[in-house]
Amino acid sequence: MGLLRRSSYLSSDQRPSQLGSHAGIPAVRLRVKALGVKMGVPFFKIPDLVKRHNIQVFSSNYCLYGDLSHRIMTSLQLFSPVVEIYSIDEAFLELTPNQSNTNYGEEIQLCLNPSD
């Protein structure tokens, strides 16, 4: 399925890149965090930092997030009859007691991102 492939525009060159909007940065990527940007900071408070470090800023795409979340949650149902969706990016699965949790996780990872 390959649902979790990193978007090419976010990793196409060596410049730090970050998702964000005028309302704020919802989560901070490691390379941007290393420059001192904190999660939730309003974008208008860091324009000098963005310019100085040539940070690429992309708008959040909540329609895409919702679609990917739905596809991932549907895929998780292949691994467990009981899937409790907690949020757009979190779910709990009922595990088979006699199965290795590590193997279970690796199978799920392979299904969602077969290139790893």
33 burial level (CB within 10 Å; 0-12, 13-18, 19+): middle
Q: Quote the pTM value.
A: 0.60
String of b and e for 82-115 (b: at least 16 CB within 10 Å)? ebeeeeeeebebeeeeeeeeeeeeeebeebbeee
- Residues 10-57 pLDDT 10s: 455 566 556 566 566 766 778 888 888 888 888 888 889 888 988 877
Q: What is the pLDDT of residues 92-111, one digit of tens each?
A: 999 878 778 888 889 999 99
Domain ranges (residues) in the chain = 8-58, 62-112
pLDDT grade, residue 4 (50/70/90)?
very low
